């Protein structure tokens, strides 16, 4: 019995390690994935190793909210992602259910290892999909691990008011060294969307919007959401409600989602 048990242990130790990361067991190889990302939660130790010669793909499902902006990042020092000198390296994209690319991942620079970032503004649909995929120039290996992080980058304005003798100015500042585009979705006090204002702000620039001069917002009050494609912490801002009759002003800072 002892000899048989020792032989079994030796056999198990001699077997090669499983090529599947722990996320494979949730079925992340196609659009039917059960692997759902949550904003602010890092999923570590994914891999793109080919299994029995079949190139690996990792799919991610996201439940989104209309007029919110999102940024998803993949990063790790052991994975080679697509960049100008390696167009055939691994990719990370926002895709349709059928796998068609909607938004290509772009290289980004952080304090940590380089990776790819996807940024988009959500429409009325409930679900989105992201896909990491090996490229012909980099088939992947058992050591090709990466982490993924989803962030809700929306800024929220709890109050604007263009009624009762007040008028509200929305002030946005771009603190990045690249232009940032986006939109401000205004809703009335009942939550009904009444206007969407597009914007584009140059690097380190500023945008000031007098909401009382927007026809759909004249005489109205409510709240707003600022969605943008600049990535996390690209914009800061506030709203200033001015009361011309008294000269009083009331500041309302824009706030972000608590991750």
Query: Per-residue DSSP letters for 95-154?
Result: E-TT--EEEE-EEE--SS--EEEEEEE--S-SEEEEEEE-BTTB---TT-EEEEEEEE--
Q: Does one domain contain both 124 and 50?
A: yes
Q: Does one domain contain both 79 and 167?
A: no
The domain tally of the chain equals: 2
- Domain range spanning residue 57? 20-152
2's enclosing H/E stretch is: helix 2-14
Supply the CATH number for residue 136's domain: 2.60.120.380
Q: What is the pLDDT of residue 5?
A: 41
Last residue of a domain, one of 90, 119, 152: 152
Is residue 126, in this structure, part of any structural domain at all?
yes
Q: Does one domain contain both 183 and 145?
A: no
Q: Does one domain contain both 135 and 49?
A: yes
Last residue of a domain, one of 152, 175, 201: 152
Is residue 1, in this structure, part of any structural domain at all?
no
Is residue 12, in this structure, part of any structural domain at all?
no
Q: What is the pLDDT of residue 6?
A: 39
Q: Has this prediction a pTM greater than 0.75?
A: yes
Q: What is the pLDDT of residue 158?
A: 96
Q: Does one domain contain both 33 and 141?
A: yes
Q: What is the pLDDT of residue 204?
A: 97
Q: Does one domain contain both 160 and 146?
A: no
Q: Does one domain contain both 148 and 160?
A: no
Asked if 214 contacts 162 with a C-beta cutoff of 8 angstroms, the reply is no
Is residue 3, in this structure, part of any structural domain at all?
no
Can you tell me which residue has the tokens 């167009």? 87
Q: Does one domain contain both 195 and 142?
A: no
Q: Does one domain contain both 160 and 136?
A: no
pLDDT (tens, 9 = 90+) of the chain, 259 residues, equals 444 443 433 433 333 344 455 666 566 667 788 889 999 999 998 888 766 566 788 999 999 999 999 999 998 767 788 888 888 888 999 999 999 999 999 987 554 557 899 999 999 999 999 999 988 766 666 667 889 999 999 999 999 999 999 999 999 999 999 999 999 999 999 999 999 999 999 999 999 999 999 999 999 999 999 999 999 999 999 999 999 888 888 999 999 987 6
The CA distance from 240 to 179, in Å, is: 24
Closest CA to 253 of 161, 184, 157: 157
The DSSP output letter for 213 is: G
Token representation of residue 149: 């992080």
Q: What is the pLDDT of residue 161?
A: 96
């Amino acid at each position: 019995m002892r000899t048989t048990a020792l032989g079994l242990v030796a056999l198990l130790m001699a077997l090669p390690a499983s090529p599947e990361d722990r996320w494979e067991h949730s079925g992340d190889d196609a659009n039917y994935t059960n692997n759902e990302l949550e904003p602010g939660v890092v999923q570590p130790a994914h891999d793109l190793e080919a299994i029995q010669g079949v190139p690996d793909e990792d799919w991610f499902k996201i439940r989104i909210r209309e007029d919110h902006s999102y940024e998803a990042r993949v990063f790790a020092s052991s994975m080679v992602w697509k960049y100008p000198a390696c167009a055939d390296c691994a990719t990370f994209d926002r895709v349709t259910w059928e796998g068609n690319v909607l938004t290509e991942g772009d290289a980004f620079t952080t304090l940590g290892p380089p990776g790819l970032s996807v940024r988009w503004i959500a429409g009325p649909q409930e679900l989105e999909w992201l896909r990491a995929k090996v490229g012909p120039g980099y088939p992947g290996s058992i050591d090709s691990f990466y982490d993924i992080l989803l962030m809700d980058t929306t800024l929220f304005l709890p109050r604007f008011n263009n009624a009762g003798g007040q008028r509200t100015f929305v002030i946005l500042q771009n603190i990045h060294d690249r232009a940032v585009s986006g939109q401000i979705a205004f809703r009335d006090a009942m939550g009904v969307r009444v206007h969407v204002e597009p914007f584009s702000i140059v690097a380190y620039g500023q945008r000031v919007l007098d909401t009382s001069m927007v026809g759909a917002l004249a005489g109205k009050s409510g709240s707003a959401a600022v969605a943008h494609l600049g990535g996390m912490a690209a914009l800061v801002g506030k709203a200033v409600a001015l009361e011309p009759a008294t000269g009083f002003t009331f500041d309302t800072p824009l706030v972000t989602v608590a991750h």
